[in-house]
């Protein structure tokens, strides 16, 4: 290792929260086996993280795509996917590092959104179409809402965020990317997501549940060990919240409608276990095969093997440092 690399590692090493790392070490060695050491290597090395750019179809930015190409950026998703609208343009490059962010300027639309490319997989799995009624149940900070609007123009788009601060963040994101006339189709609310199914039963064609979860990437760098410990203790309660959000989403769906559930954790308790609980407790819900999408992006992402056909888990690895991202798709076949 070069001196510079050592210095960088030393700097980063101080920032890793040991109490979280030890907790993950136990859990993920058991759940992921050999794959965990490679994943841990990426999660604890921020200098190898990559960022993708989702271009905004509503802003005019001549020259941006050729400038990205000059810097080694290429389309992040292959054209052979089951669902990839022409207006949906995302770029990434193998080299780590991030493109400069654009500041929020009232009245001016941003040209691109910086993100982890894996966070677009739930949107591509949702397959939103023009004119559909779509609900983004836990929408802040707004990246997936913006991505849905790059794919389609819903008849009605409901973006919900219960948390007050995050809700303001969501509003600012939507404002930064979406032109005035389209805002009429968008409703931003601060409802408890667990109640939306009862408030608006069988109203939506598509629902995205990007659930609150243990955010493995950011938790590893918790600055406050006490807060980290508290988070780890409360972690068990998350799966109950996720189940309630999913149940609400099922109620909010029209028969024939589909939902996508996603998290940015590796934790089986918050992923497959929650989905299995819903499949076992809601007779009117069926799994939807998303293995075609997984196969289509298998060069770009690394997946945990042995998953069911209706789910996938993106594992970060060097050179493909995307994820963690769990995605599952379900369909409502009839009224309860």
Question: Is 237 known as a binding-site position?
Answer: no
* Residues 6+ positions from 142 with CB-CB distance below 8 Å: 159, 169, 170, 172, 173, 174, 177
Q: Are 98 and 117 in contact (CB under 8 A)?
A: no
Q: Side by side, which strands form the sheet with 52-55?
A: 74-75, 90-92, 52-55, 112-115
Q: Which of 113, 144, 102 is nearest to 51 (CA)?
A: 113
Q: Are 71 and 105 in contact (CB under 8 A)?
A: no
Question: Is 130 known as a binding-site position?
Answer: no
Q: What is the DSSP string of 97-160?
A: B-PPPPPPBTTB--SEEEE-GGGGHHHHHH---TT-EEEETT-TT-HHHHHHHHH---SEEEEE
Question: Is 33 known as a binding-site position?
Answer: no
Question: Is 140 known as a binding-site position?
Answer: yes
Catalytic-role residue among 17, 151, 159, 264: 264
Question: Is 138 known as a binding-site position?
Answer: yes
Q: Are 172 and 109 in contact (CB under 8 A)?
A: no
Q: Is 264 annotated as catalytic? A: yes
Rounded alpha-carbon distances, angstroms, from residue 327 to 43, 73, 259, 297, 313: 19, 25, 10, 14, 7
Give the span between the Cα atoms of 27 and 283, in whole angstroms: 31
Pairing of strands 285-287, 311-314: unpaired
Question: Is 139 known as a binding-site position?
Answer: yes
Which residue positions form the known binding site for S-adenosyl-L-methionine?
Answer: 138-144, 161, 192, 210
Which residue positions form the known binding site?
Answer: 138-144, 161, 192, 210
Residues labelled catalytic? 264
């Amino acid at each position: 290792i070069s001196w510079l690399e050592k210095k960088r590692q030393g700097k980063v090493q101080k920032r890793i929260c040991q109490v979280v790392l030890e907790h993950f070490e136990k859990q993920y060695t058991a759940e992921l086996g050999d794959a965990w050491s490679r994943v841990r290597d990426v999660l604890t090395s921020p200098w190898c993280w990559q960022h993708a750019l989702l271009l905004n179809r509503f802003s005019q930015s001549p020259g941006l795509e050729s400038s990205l190409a000059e810097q080694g950026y290429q389309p992040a998703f292959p054209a052979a996917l089951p669902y990839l609208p022409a207006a949906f343009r995302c770029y990434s490059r193998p080299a780590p590092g991030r493109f400069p962010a654009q500041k929020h300027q009232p009245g001016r639309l941003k040209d691109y959104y910086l993100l982890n490319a894996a966070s677009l997989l739930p949107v591509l799995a949702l397959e939103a179409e023009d004119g559909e009624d779509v609900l983004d149940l836990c929408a802040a900070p707004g990246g997936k809402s913006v991505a849905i609007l790059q794919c389609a123009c819903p008849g009605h788009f409901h973006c919900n965020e219960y948390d007050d601060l995050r809700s303001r963040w969501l509003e600012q994101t939507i404002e930064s990317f979406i032109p005035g006339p389209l805002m009429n189709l968008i409703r931003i609310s601060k409802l408890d997501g667990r109640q939306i199914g009862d408030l608006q039963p069988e109203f939506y064609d598509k629902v995205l549940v990007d659930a609150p979860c243990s955010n493995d990437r950011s938790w590893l760098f918790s600055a406050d060990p006490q807060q980290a410990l508290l988070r780890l203790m409360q972690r068990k309660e998350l799966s109950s919240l996720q189940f309630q959000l999913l149940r609400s989403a099922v109620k909010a769906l029209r028969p024939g409608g589909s939902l996508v559930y996603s998290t940015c954790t590796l934790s089986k308790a918050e992923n497959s276990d929650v989905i299995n609980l819903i499949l076992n407790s809601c007779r009117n819900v069926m799994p939807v095969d998303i293995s075609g999408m997984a196969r289509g992006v298998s060069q770009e992402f690394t997946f945990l093997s042995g998953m069911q056909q209706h789910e996938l888990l993106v594992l970060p690895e060097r050179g493909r440092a995307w994820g963690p991202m769990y995605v599952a798709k379900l369909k409502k076949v009839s009224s309860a």
